[in-house]
């Protein structure tokens, strides 16, 4: 028996138990409202979606073609429309998530106004956005189920079979999916990280991504000036997140450990080594140093370390930061990842400077020598020039193969004149298959785009403004927006219903019966869209 039928029976029994005082309560209406509000709290969502992620991770381990995907969303409505589109076009939300980007929170949701990705925005904005996203996803469930209930009533009134409609209700697939949520570098010390992680989990997050940068010096992963923290400091924050999950009963919550070491050449702190070969000594081994042969090699305020039986002086910059040796980024990434997985992290995030399957795969191969089931969450970042990167990758491969590339200029491959060339077509095919290729060859379990809806909002607004304020006038909106909504079957064309007016009418009828004042009568202009 379905949950809907169980609820209907339970409310029917309650009504009978409470006698005439509950005569106005319709058990079926109550069961419908329960079905439309399946998740009572954010913790219910976190537990439900954590189980989904764990299942998906196991299925990926067995078959790398079973990778997962998400798009970054900066507003609940954007997340809702994305999942409506996924269900409409793919038929299921299976292995499709949402991503909450700290970059977009900073740029679009801070009360300070637009900010760079430097953890200057209000940290509670992150948990508030998680709650907002799930509010909109739950509303999408309520709207679609409401439409099914109307179909059920209409079929009954017409004396038709209701079995098919009832089956859709009983087996309804929710729009509520896992969110991978960005906690940046933890917004402070490990206690601050724990407190914010709790808020995020209580809002519904089953998966928290944390990075190994210094919290008060955090930079976007695709900008310069990144400063990493020692392993012990980062592991303390991973522990803080795990304790938050366990305290709240989300025992299978997922932690993504992100390393920015590939592009970070600085550290703010030299950790204290207590035994030979410990984590601190491994971290310090990457420091750029000069030999200290006598006290004369030191100036006032200089620091000296004993490494490999000799004294060395770490290179310290005028700002007090310490420099790593050049060309050690890959080795530091591998150590970061192994250490994180050995100390509580579930997934890895390696922030790279370009989307290159070979580069990512080489690092993952090294990690898997120690942790065989290591797998990544990977940022298919809009900070990459995908067109240029892949055209240059094809160009370089052709040169290595000895193929004639005389008609191409490597430095100008972004130009429009190459768009229809053979090289561009090969490059576009590599872009198309990048996620599948990287899942198979580079251990990427989850592919996401951090900021796509930031860019799509800007592009669609530019196109509308260009025509509306130009010669097209109102036709720019009608032809470019509304007509396309109709042709492509977007539920949002009926914006009143999308915002909940029909659900409100249903509730008024439940509560007030024939006295209900409804909005969806004959004069509602939404009826104009009931056309082919």
- Positions marked catalytic: 220
User: In sequence order, what are the residues at sequence separation of 6 or more whose Cβ sits closer than 8 angstroms to the Cβ of residue 112?
Assistant: 120, 121, 122
Compute φ and ψ for 95, nearest 5 degrees: 65, 20
C-alpha pair distances (Å), 104 with each of 71, 127, 333, 525: 12, 14, 25, 35
26 bridge partner residues: none
Q: First and final CA of the chain: distance in angstroms?
A: 37
Tell me which DSSP letter residue 480 carries: I
Could you give the 3-state DSSP secondary structure of residue 11?
helix
Strand order in the sheet with 305-307: 289-291, 310-314, 305-307
Query: Which residue, 166, 107, 98, 163, is CA-closest to 133?
Result: 98
Compute φ and ψ for 65, nearest 5 degrees: -75, -10
User: In sequence order, what are the residues at sequence separation of 6 or more whose Cβ sits closer than 8 angstroms to the Cβ of residue 93?
Assistant: 83, 86, 87, 173, 174, 175, 177
CB 74 within 8 A of CB 101: yes
Tell me which DSSP letter residue 324 carries: B
Helices (H), ranges, 469-500: 474-477, 483-487, 495-498
Alpha-carbon gap, residue 455 to 526, rounded angstroms? 30
96 bridge partner residues: 69
C-alpha pair distances (Å), 48 with each of 67, 153, 238, 249, 289: 19, 31, 22, 12, 50
Hunting for tokens 């561009």 — which residue is that?
A: 424
């Amino acid at each position: 028996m379905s949950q809907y039928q169980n609820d209907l029976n339970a409310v029917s029994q309650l009504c009978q138990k409470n006698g005439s005082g509950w005569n106005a309560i319709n058990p079926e209406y109550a069961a419908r409202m329960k079905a439309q509000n399946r998740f009572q709290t954010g913790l219910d969502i976190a537990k439900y979606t954590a189980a989904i992620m764990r299942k998906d991770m196991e299925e990926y381990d067995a078959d790398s073609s079973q990778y997962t995907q998400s798009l970054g969303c900066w507003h609940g409505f954007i997340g809702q429309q994305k999942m409506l589109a996924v269900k409409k076009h793919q038929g299921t939300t299976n292995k499709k998530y949402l991503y909450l980007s700290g970059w977009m929170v900073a740029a679009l949701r801070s009360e300070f106004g637009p900010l760079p990705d430097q953890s200057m925005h209000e940290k509670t904005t992150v948990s508030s956005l998680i709650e907002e996203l799930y509010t909109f996803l739950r509303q999408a469930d309520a709207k679609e189920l409401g439409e099914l209930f109307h179909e059920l009533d209409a079929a009954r009134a017409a004396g038709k079979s209701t079995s098919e409609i009832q089956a859709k209700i009983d087996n309804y697939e929710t729009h509520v999916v896992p969110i991978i949520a960005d906690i940046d570098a933890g917004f402070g010390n490990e206690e601050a990280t724990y407190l914010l992680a709790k808020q995020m989990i209580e809002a519904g997050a089953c998966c928290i991504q944390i990075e190994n940068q210094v919290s008060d010096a955090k930079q976007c992963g695709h900008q310069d000036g990144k400063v990493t923290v020692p392993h012990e400091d980062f592991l303390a924050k991973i522990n803080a997140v795990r304790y938050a999950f366990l305290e709240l009963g989300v025992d299978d919550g997922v932690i993504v450990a992100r390393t920015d070491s590939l592009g970070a050449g600085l550290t703010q702190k030299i950790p204290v080594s207590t035994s030979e070969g410990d984590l601190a000594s491994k971290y310090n081994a990457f420091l750029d140093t000069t030999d200290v042969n006598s006290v004369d090699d030191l100036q006032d305020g200089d620091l000296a370390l004993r490494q490999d039986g000799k004294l060395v002086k770490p290179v310290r910059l005028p700002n007090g930061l310490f420099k790593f040796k050049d060309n050690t980024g890959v080795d530091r990434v591998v150590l970061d990842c192994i250490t994180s997985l050995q100390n509580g992290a579930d997934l890895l995030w390696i922030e790279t400077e370009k989307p290159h399957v070979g580069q990512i795969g080489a690092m993952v191969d090294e990690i898997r020598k120690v942790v065989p089931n290591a797998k990544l969450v990977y940022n298919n970042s809009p900070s990459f020039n995908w067109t240029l990167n892949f055209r240059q990758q094809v160009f370089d491969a052709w040169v290595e193969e000895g193929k004639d590339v005389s008609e191409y200029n490597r430095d100008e491959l972004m130009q429009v004149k190459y768009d229809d060339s053979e090289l561009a077509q090969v490059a576009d095919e590599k872009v198309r298959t990048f996620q599948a290729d990287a899942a198979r060859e580079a251990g990427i379990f989850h592919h996401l785009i951090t900021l796509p809806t930031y860019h799509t909002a800007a592009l669609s607004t530019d196109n509308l403004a260009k025509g509306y304020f130009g010669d097209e006038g109102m036709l720019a909106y009608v032809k470019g927006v509304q007509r396309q909504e109709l042709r492509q079957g977007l539920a949002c064309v009926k914006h009143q219903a999308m915002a909940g007016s029909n659900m409100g009418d249903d509730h008024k009828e439940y509560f007030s019966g024939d006295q209900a004042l409804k909005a969806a009568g004959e004069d509602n202009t939404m009826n104009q869209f009931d056309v082919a």
